[in-house]
Amino acid sequence: MAQVYNWQLGREMEYPYGEGDTTRQFAAVFNINRCIACQTCTMACKSTWTFSPGQELMWWNNVETKPFGGYPHHWDVNLLSKQSELDPGGQTWDSLRSATPTQPYGVFNGKTIFETADGTEARVTGYLPPEDDWKAPNIFEDAATKFPKQGATLPVHDGWFFYLQRICNHCSYPGCLAACPRNAIYKRPEDGIVLVDQERCRGYRKCVEACPYKKAMYRPTTRTSEKCIGCFPRLEGLEPLTEGLPTETRCMTSCVGKIRMQGLVDVGADGQWLHEPNNPLYYLVHEEQVALPMYPQFGTQPNVYYIPPRWVPRDYLHQMFGPGVEQAIDRYTNPSRELLALLQLFRAAQAVIFRFDIEQGPKVNEITVNGRTQEIFNDTAVGFGADGNEIVRISVQEPFFERPGKQNSI
């Protein structure tokens, strides 16, 4: 196997192929704190891409209730258990090392799914879920760990659950791609989107087995595997609404809770994100480090990042999002002036925002959160599209409109 650098793990790791030739990478941030589990995203995706015969059990976008829910059932617990068996006591982080841009969360000491595989029978550790496990995509919806008699308070709720929004991560080192014996899976250099070539696929389901997030799926009517395609025609500017500009996916643009922001980041020859602090995705992930990858220890370097839920026990969140959890929650709870303004741009535009600016406004409030005083400024966040032109501007304070005394006939 080749050695590649995985910045989420803070170290080199084994992968069947080299760094690849991605020059731009599809990425997204999901703010778990704001999701209301309306499933609008799920249905937007379903009604666009997976409404045909053979796709009945396919949900490229799903929103599950943690800790008990999962699609397919127990997908993460199954793989975490397997990794612990194959790497006993090894799945730990050395998070005490000082954070640097190439090691923001410290160093992962354990073996990834590529490193626990024996390399002969399988290139990737995984498992093939039985068909029944795909049949209840929203099982255990709203099921909490317990229902305390007292009301819940922060920082951690006694009884808890949270919604986890999931799509394909268009990983930098995809497990699905590594496992395919037909070389039918490829990563587009221009946006990092991972696709299955339907002509080459023979339906061996090695990708279904190898994807740690279980986002490659088998279609019995065509006997091929399919997966989220990142709505690539929209990214190519074919959505008429945005007049040729790269547009966010269906699941992103339909999000009722305004929890999602999608972007494209520039990637250097070494596979790392270029330093672009005015790119909203770069800012959230690398500057503020408020958004974290899910199960980075699997090693695929996923490109969907999550602002962790504030009320959930930290040991659970550490396992899911790594050692950056405390800092991410702290920064979200007491946001900087820049972060508070940037959070307003979530779901403010359909076109992908490539760059943002903040125009400073007056101080409008002062609040105390967790004993810390926070000043609120009515700044304005401005988003720019692929052509460099302004596509949206929105202020921290919502504009106030007073209804005129004389009502119209409505």
Which residues in 298-352 belong to E strands, given as ranges?
Answer: 304-307
> Using the rule CB under 6 A, is 189 a contact of ligand SF4?
no
CB of 44 to ligand SF4, least distance (A): 8
CB of 233 to ligand SF4, least distance (A): 18
CA distance 105 to 109: 12
Q: What is the DSSP string of 73-91?
A: TTHHHHHHHHHHHHSTTT-
8, 39, 112, 242: which one contacts ligand SF4 (CB under 6 A)?
A: 39
Region of 243 on the Ramachandran plot (φ > 0 left; ψ -120 to 50 alpha; else beta): left
> Using the rule CB under 6 A, is 35 a contact of ligand SF4?
yes
SS3 category, 197: coil
- Residue nearest ligand SF4, CB atom distance: 257
> Using the rule CB under 6 A, is 176 a contact of ligand SF4?
yes
Phi first, then psi, for residue 326 (nearest 5°) are -60, -45
Asked if 299 and 112 count as a contact pair (C-beta separation under 8 A), the reply is: yes
> Using the rule CB under 6 A, is 386 a contact of ligand SF4?
no
> Using the rule CB under 6 A, is 196 a contact of ligand SF4?
no
Identify the bridge partners of residue 361 per DSSP, sorted by sequence position: none
Report cis status (omega within 30 of 0) of the bond before 155: yes
CB of 139 to ligand SF4, least distance (A): 16
> Using the rule CB under 6 A, is 72 a contact of ligand SF4?
no
Write out the binding residues for ligand SF4, residues 273-332 only, by CB under 6 A.
300
57, 194, 265, 382: which one contacts ligand SF4 (CB under 6 A)?
A: 194
Size of the site for ligand SF4 (CB under 6 A): 29
57, 79, 117, 211: which one contacts ligand SF4 (CB under 6 A)?
A: 211
Residue nearer to ligand SF4 on the CB measure, 137 or 377 = 137
Residue nearer to ligand SF4 on the CB measure, 235 or 386 = 235
CB of 319 to ligand SF4, least distance (A): 18
1, 38, 348, 394: which one contacts ligand SF4 (CB under 6 A)?
A: 38
Residue nearer to ligand SF4 on the CB measure, 31 or 355 = 31
104, 192, 246, 257: which one contacts ligand SF4 (CB under 6 A)?
A: 257
Identify the bridge partners of residue 247 per DSSP, sorted by sequence position: 351
> Using the rule CB under 6 A, is 265 a contact of ligand SF4?
no
Within 8 A by CB and 6+ apart from 42, the residues are 59, 61, 62, 63, 137, 251
CA distance 306 to 32: 7
> Using the rule CB under 6 A, is 37 a contact of ligand SF4?
yes
What's the burial of 177, exposed, middle or buried (CB within 10 Å: 0-12/13-18/19+)?
A: buried
Instruction: Return the DSSP state at 247.
Output: B
Burial annotation 206-228 (CB, 10 A radius, 16+ → b, else e): bbbbbbbbbbbbbbeeeebbbbb
Write out the binding residues for ligand SF4, residues 220-239 only, by CB under 6 A.
227
Q: Where on the chain is the footprint of ligand SF4 (CB under 6 A)?
A: 35-41, 63, 165, 168-171, 174-176, 194, 211, 213, 215-216, 227, 254-257, 259-260, 300
